[in-house]
Structure 1
Amino acid sequence: MRRLLGATVAALAMALTGCAGAAGGDDRPHIVVTTNILGDVIAGTVGDAARVTTLMRPNADPHSFEISAREAAMMREADLVVSNGLGLEEGLQRHLDRAAEAGVETYVAGERIDVLDYADGESAGTPDPHFWTDPARMRDVVDGLEVAVKDIEGIDEQAVAQSAAAYRTELEELDQEMTESFASIAEQQRSLVTNHHVFGYLADRFGFRVVGAVIPGGTTLAAPSAADLRDLTEAIERADVPTIFAESSQPDRLIQVLADEAGVDIEVSELFTESLTEKGEGADTYLTMMRANTERITSGLSSGPTD
């Protein structure tokens, strides 16, 4: 358990250096979160009971983003560090390890859910870290976080309980909206293709088939071969999908090439899957992101089979 003095020192240092999320004189417990999707969910869960700093900038790639030396030092002074885990933060793991070694309390969201493994590709058999595409699993993350933050010295447990209950209700409403929207997609049209394997949890929760991905592994740092693209083109033709999906945090050049290669009339629709956006760009909160994706998936896959 970290003393409040550490959080206060970190807050003052951030105010002097201009780091994002700093608030001079703010003596609330300080929670540092790796990814912006988790950061938004954590902020919604704890409300005003803690100061939440998110390291990953909007529209960044969680597999490869990096942090400054000051941000790394801030992690080692936090009252709690929250990460996704399951191999997602590939460029940040050494800093997470050092914070843990320094005695900082940690909460790894991926350890609190029912984990799925990748079914195919280069990552087959390894844990899939993209669990946020399933709001039911995000409720599990909120439940675990509510327990974890109550151990922070100086935390207002009643305020956390109220905020967590309200946010949990919002997740339940989101889950119901997604269920109702996806119910309008015919069974034979529930096939997903995207940049890389990111929809395993959504598919598991809502009854979709993941036909394949342009990038063959679970990370955006990999690259497809000509054989990968050829195999995926054949899979798309067999599944007769009307739309393939490009992620907003990655250029859609490869997926557009794939659409052209398939030789069929196929749409390319952008989804928000790996990162939140800046305000006004369509997905500045987790709830907004999921609703936007639900609408685009439903629209893209309800258009009927291709000719």
Structure 2
Amino acid sequence: MASVRDRMRSHLLQTLSGTDDGSPQWVLDLERGDDAGYFGPGSASWAVHGGMATMVAGIRALLLQALHPGAMAGVHDWSRYREDPLGRLTGTIRWLITVTFGDRATAERSSAMVRGLHRRVQGEYVDARGESRSYKASDPDLIEWVHLAFTDSFLACHELWEAPIPGGVDAYVREWAVAGRLIGMEHPPETAAELRARLDAFARDGVLKSDDRVREIVRFIRNPPLARGMLPAYRIMFAGAVASLEPQHRRMLGLGKPPLLVVPATSAVLRSARGLLGERSTSEEAARSRIARLQREGWSPDAGERPAA
């Protein structure tokens, strides 16, 4: 009979990857490919996306993204988050992991699929000034907002709950600008200061908005349909995500500032998750196996593509 620990590990891996062992076929496929990918071992992106704080960062990013009425319209009109919330979550995780740990060709194919989905998502929304606007998910301002919210969330949570980033915070923003370009963003920020200035500009320019749709998504993110045994830990991580938000964003989301105890409590939950999952994810292990294979075949980081046999 499976122990409580085994059941918790299985539930967590199912939520994050779609399988109870953390090794769906797309993760196993990360062992294939002819290069180390866009980043590689020792990179800022591997450090950030390989950390446990990503679980809190994902919650934070969803909350922050909801404040742009165009992005919120895309989720409201097109997403199946109510019917299949974990499916949407694992789809986002798959893209993140593939771009981070996959070889370049795989990262580009995955991003091309995202761009294709974006082209189909379109409709109308009422902006913060009360004016009706048409949108496509591929619109530059929506791509920019989603990238900024994502990057800021993963950076903020890593700074709160993980070890220092190799090369510093600017290294992560500069590296992850690659992902922004892969999904169609022309000029992603390349320093933490630029990232935060551009985020602030959305609020300063009156683009962001709080309304019934935002309140609905906040309620859903606060109480998602997870396995009962995971809910206590999830609620602490939700509170941690709220604590990591800028005060102006918390206010717009209708969320109060959590007590100071939330930050160390979240740290304890993340340590427990690391104890369940191990120091390295199955995705990172697959990427390391790919790179080790290429090195045995004569590839080196300076050589680029694998040499022809």
TM over 0.5: no
Greater Cα radius of gyration, structure 1 or 2: 1
Question: Higher strand proportion, which one?
Answer: 1
RCO (CA 8 Å, sep 6+): is it higher in 1 or 2? 2
TM-score (norm 2): 0.28
TM-score (norm 1): 0.28
Question: Higher helix proportion, which one?
Answer: 2
